[in-house]
Structure 1
């Protein structure tokens, strides 16, 4: 009986809270039912089909090194330069590893007097631009890190709200890779206050034009509502959570920057309500300040570029889910990077250095569905660890995403742990092979300096990382990652098409026992993704033993946690 009373009490309290929220949301001019569409949060509702792809950066998966996996928050310019030199001296640079990427903790907790990020004043006393010049002198490229949040993951200054300034800073230093994390992120609100009207004026002049509710063309649920405590007694409501839009057509005599003053009804909110102004296809974002609402109305201002003649203006808030917010924020930084590298090249009268842009929100918002519009590459999972189960987990999560990759648009299963932890030589070999098969970035996470030693372990690690045949698979210009085409017990069979009509096929033994496999190459013709016209008398190249043979059947023994990987070629061996 007590349990039943408790359940009923909880239900009653929940209903009261829901009704209270529902009524307060509606009173603020927001559509309550539209706000309830925010689930699942990882599903993006914004139509990005008309948005342009990110145009900067590498077309192929990057190859390089990152400071995080081994050194975490203990890095300095001496370590970075020694690593860059070791990259050259070990021959890794010659094998294609070109990027030296600073992860978190490269910078000071203080921005400079101009609000710009700067290197840690003790650990990087020469400054990041000088470090970049030194790295470039070695024939390598420097990468850098920030977070799409108020702070980085290690609680240092980050770039949310400072996108344009930070992008300009990175461009001025010569940075060519940028990793943008997701710690301390603040989701854009789907709420929008009631808009009383928007006044438009030329700079230095009084209001010359007013956009009132009665002049708007509404779509969706957006509409005019009566508001007693506003001076005009009415406003535009239901712009929230993609509920609707209010549009205007404005004719002007001349081009120029105009002052927009948005008059609105305050909302009692701890978070910043949000609205977009779409002016001739250019998006201007407005974040309304949180309010305790001592007075009913307020205003915010911004400057907007408009053209002589007809201008189309739309008021909207497309943010429904967390993924919508992430898309807007990551794309905002992408556009800032594009503009910054182009502007800096023009200012310096030099060749532009496009920045390869890495979206690192851990796969939380399904970035493979929208990442091409924002950047070059996107993390598919949370951080990797130097543990076998972590590698297998990430492989399983990333492999099914093969359809989303293409040149300049790369699935990123995180950095390599080859040489780290207690991974066996066979596991290191498999880890590297799987990343190459998935067309993943090859970003080393070990201490490159130790590979200068001539010990057996260093030689094994180098032989794995410098396997030119597998690197050629990873760097194939088609950028078509492997897909799973079959299974024999605990052995996954994955394959990817390559340029010139070749195919790479890999047999991955996930078990703790030796496995014998037998595979008929003729079966490859059944998969349209691989695009093989025939398989008889093909050249089969074992990419770890370097053995080449001509058979229609592959027979092999695979070690525990091991792989066998082959390149199948029809062009080099004719009937």
Structure 2
């Protein structure tokens, strides 16, 4: 959330050495799904805007769209509620409850419906006295709320940090929540928002969270996409060492299909978020999405780069006035590379080689364009690869080593 945090966030394990880290076997590849926040925010006016308000109707319809529109088959499996789903007060037993007017059938019934579609159900909470929008927070109720989530059939908990009480709450709260979720014996992905903390230890954080929101909230803005991208590049060595199967970075929402991104910009966000190995959560209106934007979101070749089981985070290896290049190591000796242009005037040509792309494990690679779905050809280390990149656009390739017999011959020839 972008609402003001009430205290500087801090993480420490020094007094919690007996607490076990998160080892729930989940999120072996980056989680994928849909979340309501960026697109629908805290719209609770169901009387005047029933189509777009935060209600069980909205989440049921998004579950239908995810299941029936090809998204589930592509790997998007979570329908995630964000802030403003709750009643303003807990019940007489101190339990959380959804707003009774907007969720008249309760969350167990909603979870059952989402599960009937072959999908998973997530919700939002904040590790403080209140959520960012002022609804009941989890502090003082960690174990009870975790049990409630399990009873409802929740599959993911996204934990924010608004209205926290300072460092003891932030450190102990998140760690205790991680433990409480494991103790429910239900597989629940734990997604943590550690944004705005000063000098966090991402490796230690990853011991307790399946995904980690590292930086600022996404807005429906190309400038915000670039701002988040640049931060990830500046932190890439630290983040790459902390990320991997079971503990992925979260660059925040894909805004593809909302109001501001052009076609080229949408391709760029999809490619860059995938090569960074961020979790992929859309926040858009799947009921009425532009078919061209939907095609980007359903690009199975690009998604496969994100979901590569090796789980390595891609890094920016080159940047000049127009271009930057990101490269990701993948399974079986393959690589993905994104050539991204920040030019705004016209398409520009970019010439590179496998060696320049730091794709050097094999003497010969078969290269494929993942947006054109077209094989480009075979390239030795110093062969020139020239591409034309549209303004704010990308060319995304996958380089796969050729068969071992060819490789051995080329190595012998010294090529």
Which residue pairs with 2:374 in the alignment?
547
Change in Cα spacing, 1:524 to 1:512, as seen in structure 2 (3 Å) is closer
Residue 272 of structure 2 is aligned to residue 434 of structure 1 = yes
Change in Cα spacing, 1:328 to 1:571, as seen in structure 2 (3 Å) is farther
Which residue pairs with 2:292 in the alignment?
460
The offset of 1:404, in angstroms, is 1.5
Change in Cα spacing, 1:367 to 1:337, as seen in structure 2 (3 Å) is farther
Q: C-alpha deviations, 1:256-315, integer Å up to 9, x for none?
A: xxxxxxxxxxxxxxxxxxxxxxxxxxxxxxxxxxxxxxxxxxxxxxxxxxxxxxxxxxxx
Alignment length (residue pairs): 378
CA distance in structure 2 between the partners assigned to 1:334 and 1:47 by the alignment: 16
CA distance in structure 2 between the partners assigned to 1:99 and 1:41 by the alignment: 28
Which residue pairs with 1:69 in the alignment?
38
TM-score, normalised on structure 2? 0.86
The offset of 1:495, in angstroms, is 0.4
Residue 23 of structure 2 is aligned to residue 55 of structure 1 = yes
Q: List, as ranges, runs of 4+ consecutive aligned residues in structure 1 with deviation greater than 6 Å.
A: 47-50
Greater CA drift, 356-365 or 438-447: 356-365
Q: C-alpha deviations, 1:139-171, integer Å up to 9, x for none?
A: 001001100110001101110121101100001
The answer as to whether partners of 1:63 and 1:441 remain within 8 angstroms in 2 is: yes
Which residue pairs with 1:420 in the alignment?
258
The answer as to whether partners of 1:147 and 1:158 remain within 8 angstroms in 2 is: yes
The answer as to whether partners of 2:257 and 2:294 remain within 8 angstroms in 1 is: no
What 5-or-longer segments of structure 2 have no aligned partner? 1-7, 44-53, 407-415
Which residue pairs with 1:396 in the alignment?
230
> Secondary structure at 1:476's aligned position in 2?
coil
Return the structure number with greater strand share: 1
1:355 paired residue among 162, 172, 188: 188
The offset of 1:118, in angstroms, is 1.1
Which residue pairs with 1:253 in the alignment?
none
Which residue pairs with 1:116 in the alignment?
95
The answer as to whether partners of 1:363 and 1:378 remain within 8 angstroms in 2 is: no
> Secondary structure at 1:523's aligned position in 2?
coil
CA distance in structure 2 between the partners assigned to 1:497 and 1:359 by the alignment: 26
1:4-83 aligned within 5 A? 44=12, 46=14, 52-56=20-24, 57-74=26-43, 75-83=54-62
Change in Cα spacing, 1:571 to 1:329, as seen in structure 2 (3 Å) is farther
The answer as to whether partners of 2:328 and 2:337 remain within 8 angstroms in 1 is: yes
Residue 328 of structure 2 is aligned to residue 490 of structure 1 = no
Q: Which one has a bigger Cα radius of gyration?
A: 1
Q: C-alpha deviations, 1:502-558, integer Å up to 9, x for none?
A: 011111112323322111112345xxxx7x422x33100110111211133321111
Which residue pairs with 1:504 in the alignment?
336
The offset of 1:44, in angstroms, is 4.9
Q: C-alpha deviations, 1:473-523, integer Å up to 9, x for none?
A: 000111101112223442111101001110111111123233221111123
Residue 178 of structure 2 is aligned to residue 334 of structure 1 = yes
What 5-or-longer segments of structure 1 have no aligned partner? 1-39, 190-324, 343-352, 452-457
CA distance in structure 2 between the partners assigned to 1:331 and 1:394 by the alignment: 26
> Secondary structure at 1:64's aligned position in 2?
strand
